[in-house]
Structure 1
């Protein structure tokens, strides 16, 4: 489409927003339809639908031309607000409160203790293997990979016909580990971007988010049960059930609570009180949610495979040794921590406490082995990785060598010919004279300086040269200014002050 300006010349009209929305909607619809068809074919030929969908997504993403047509950049809000709440709601409705109560110790260790242990273990390993990674950024990475994917474990478990007790453990773990890992992710991310003033504030935020999620879940779950019990219309009751997970999730997030935990608690309450509904309502409700679960699980698995080209493109410019060593270290840490945790808490409490031996059955070696290896990661971890702001990446390392699981926007530092690389041990952190976002005004600890060019926040090379030739400064996002002497000897702020 062309328009004419004042001179009569034809000029093209920029792409309209409705056109871009229409293109994105068409891509999402194509992925949804294709995922459901592939899942139906996999079920028809008795194949593992999750594996088929992931492989199909990888194949579509790498085919020249096809990947450009179905080009979907994973939006974290799409997963956290659209896909995750219904899946958690379905898992909560299908869970038995009595089974969860019987295995509460094992489920609590898997759903609360294991994600936290994985977060700190991965953070420790990443901090010592990734150059210049801050503690907060390392904890963000640990929280991203700490959560096993409930969709993957449950889908493959049903496909293999695992015993009911194992499915109960995996289902109970999947109900609560989302709340633990995602809440830890939010707290660590707030610390990384400077929104949290200290780790004590982060712990308080974690506790308040968990408490808020439980309160919202209990309150809205009771309200939903009350409203549905007063209706005598199966269609209206199921319509309320379809919008319930989104209502609960958004309400909890608005009050700074854990939306994941709120959805889980509300679903458990509604599922426990489902006997109050009529037979027609329960029959329709079961069929509707099974269909929704199939659609969303298929869409999520295909979406994982389609993200491969994006991940590869975002890794451009990172040294190969950094990718291999850090990824291998994180991968091994995640597997080892889960195996050690499961085996330790499966046998040690029984050896040390007679009450545990009397209250619980002894797990078989096969059950412990399956649970120890049922730690697949899925689309929620990928969405959390995509949701890390660039501010965290630019301020994660003093040389801008930030790294995170999955795609990252890493820029190598500029190297000048004939000059020795500056050592990082001589950097001195000092307070800026202006706002933390300033990139042109040198701090007082560097002396009376002049701007040495257009500086960029978080870049890997100096942006300001002072009038004192013994020091150079650059701006670090969220951390103020940093100065270092050319010799690399450690200097104190008093020694560098004007």
Structure 2
């Protein structure tokens, strides 16, 4: 295709994304499912060229920013507290699923070498960070479950990619060393942590010296690709490097970003992540046509691959159930034996954890990177696509319903010393003390009466909202609804003044920005 035609196709795809997102909202569907189905349907439109995915390009373009987004907003303290559970999922569950899928594939196709079966297991085993984000950000989970699933999605790709590379190497060379693979895995992870931490540290030092909002935002956007490419160039885990850099940057952004940079950077980043996430699911859908042509058509898939592929999909789903419930049963036994430091999830939470295993772009990209000489390559490609379809369309769509049905309880240890209102009250008191120190002149005269009155009102405002937590929340929401309504009225008057020619564009933009910030503050305080 001509480069202009490629660009036009990309713009058309993003226009379709807007329509599919709107349709998903109207039909109460997860956008990921709508985009996947829509991309698959569009792929077969007459006149549309066959879209092929370059797996290396997909990984380097899409994976770093989406991993960075997850790591940036990860809460460090819960991440550390639940590290054992995260590693159990990100390493243990991936290894177990790889083993289960390899055994099932070997039983179904005895002629397939064990290394090829392991490669298939490594392709299908890690749940995808993009798919997890797309689903989890639209459901309400207890804090512990959310931390476990988000942490797993950040780290498990590294496990799956390393397993895949060793399995493919074993197929091509005919040899495999468990000791060498294990030591290499730990070196890749440790190297990724070091590279990502170093790049994050450079980012912190750089931002302290740039002094320009646009440059700071640009430098922030480039961190994820710098970490990934740097890690891969140094032959360590690029995935872990991105996660390490994201955790570092997310921790320090509160002290190196000004308010204006943070507002502008977050707005830009949200749009970027939205477009990249949408493009990922659209590209997965688009790849269906080229995949079917590659393996000989839908008839070949239905006649020769349907049964083994369905059994492999079932093995992938059931392996996660076995691992999650097995580990949780073991923890419950330890706790009953007197080891009170361990806290099992419980059957309801374990059920939700087991069902939240969506696969996505990493599975597809890794499957497409299989060498042409790989035994069973066509079956692996179809199995990868089938697992993505089932986990995103079935598990992703029904996860919210399952959470409502199971009602997993919040971890009793997750409660923090201060709730939102208490933390806000502490902030207001600190602000009041600062204003009180500066509101009076040396001779005791009051210099800033309006500021002092304003901050005293804010510091004591919480006392006006009495009752239960639900009643306080309703009263606060009503309070800020009035403020938002006043902002809307002010904005309407401002626009009318401009339309009547009574103010110029500069005044319009200045006052509009003030109203926007006031509305954002009120919406944040309300929500």
The TM-score, its normalising length taken from structure 2, stands at 0.67
Deviations 1:67-118 (A, max 9, x none): x425311210232000111000000001111111121121111111111111
Instruction: After TM superposition, list the pairs within 5 Å mapping 1:187-226 onto structure 2.
Output: 187-194=166-173, 198-226=177-205
**Residue 104 and residue 204 in structure 1: after superposition, are their counterparts in 2 closer, same or farther (change >3 A)?**
closer
1:299 corresponds, among 279, 283, 291, to 279
Deviations 1:320-339 (A, max 9, x none): 56412321221111111100
Q: Give, in angstroms, the shift of residue 356 of structure 1.
A: 8.8
Distance in 2 (CA, whole Å) between partners of 1:347 and 1:315 is 42
Quote the residue 1:315 is aligned against.
295
1:244 corresponds, among 207, 223, 233, to 223
Aligned to 1:173, the other structure's residue is in SS state: helix
Distance in 2 (CA, whole Å) between partners of 1:152 and 1:356 is 38
Quote the residue 1:348 is aligned against.
330
Q: Give, in angstroms, the shift of residue 266 of structure 1.
A: 0.8
Aligned to 1:166, the other structure's residue is in SS state: helix
**Residue 79 and residue 125 in structure 1: after superposition, are their counterparts in 2 closer, same or farther (change >3 A)?**
same
Quote the residue 1:123 is aligned against.
102
**Residue 231 and residue 355 in structure 1: after superposition, are their counterparts in 2 closer, same or farther (change >3 A)?**
farther
Aligned to 2:328, the other structure's residue is in SS state: helix
Deviations 1:233-289 (A, max 9, x none): 222111101111111111111111111111011101111112212222222232222
Distance in 1 (CA, whole Å) between partners of 2:165 and 2:120 is 11
**Residue 36 and residue 265 in structure 1: after superposition, are their counterparts in 2 closer, same or farther (change >3 A)?**
farther
Quote the residue 2:452 is aligned against.
none
2:263 corresponds, among 271, 283, 302, to 283
Distance in 1 (CA, whole Å) between partners of 2:301 and 2:133 is 37
Aligned to 1:160, the other structure's residue is in SS state: coil
Task: Considering fraction of residues, name the structure with more strand.
Answer: 1
**Residue 319 and residue 377 in structure 1: after superposition, are their counterparts in 2 closer, same or farther (change >3 A)?**
closer
Distance in 2 (CA, whole Å) between partners of 1:26 and 1:271 is 35
Instruction: Give the RMSD, CA atoms, in angstroms.
Output: 2.5
Q: Give, in angstroms, the shift of residue 135 of structure 1.
A: 1.6
Q: Give, in angstroms, the shift of residue 355 of structure 1.
A: 9.5
**Residue 348 and residue 229 in structure 1: after superposition, are their counterparts in 2 closer, same or farther (change >3 A)?**
same
Distance in 2 (CA, whole Å) between partners of 1:402 and 1:150 is 25
Aligned to 1:73, the other structure's residue is in SS state: coil
Quote the residue 1:368 is aligned against.
350
2:24 is the alignment partner of 1:24: no
Aligned to 2:340, the other structure's residue is in SS state: helix
Instruction: After TM superposition, list the pairs within 5 Å mapping 1:8-407 onto structure 2.
Output: 20-43=2-25, 46-63=28-45, 65=46, 68-194=47-173, 198-277=177-256, 278-316=258-296, 322-353=304-335, 358-359=340-341, 361-393=343-375, 403-406=379-382
Deviations 1:47-81 (A, max 9, x none): 42111111211221234x0xx42531121023200
Q: Give, in angstroms, the shift of residue 223 of structure 1.
A: 1.1
Distance in 2 (CA, whole Å) between partners of 1:107 and 1:30 is 39
Distance in 2 (CA, whole Å) between partners of 1:244 and 1:388 is 29
Quote the residue 1:6 is aligned against.
none
Q: Give, in angstroms, the shift of residue 37 of structure 1.
A: 4.2
**Residue 294 and residue 347 in structure 1: after superposition, are their counterparts in 2 closer, same or farther (change >3 A)?**
same
Distance in 1 (CA, whole Å) between partners of 2:5 and 2:179 is 46
Deviations 1:400-437 (A, max 9, x none): x97424289xxxxxxxxxxxxxxxxxxxxxxxxxxxxx
Q: Give, in angstroms, the shift of residue 362 of structure 1.
A: 4.8
Higher RCO (Cα < 8 Å, 6 or more apart): 2
Number of positions where the alignment pairs a residue of Structure 1 with one of Structure 2: 381
Q: In structure 1, list runs of 5 or more residues that go unmatched.
A: 1-18, 409-498
The TM-score, its normalising length taken from structure 1, stands at 0.71
Task: Considering fraction of residues, name the structure with more helix.
Answer: 2
Deviations 1:376-419 (A, max 9, x none): 111210111111010223xx6xxxx97424289xxxxxxxxxxx
Distance in 2 (CA, whole Å) between partners of 1:22 and 1:211 is 43
Q: Give, in angstroms, the shift of residue 316 of structure 1.
A: 1.7
Distance in 1 (CA, whole Å) between partners of 2:338 and 2:309 is 38
Distance in 2 (CA, whole Å) between partners of 1:359 and 1:372 is 23
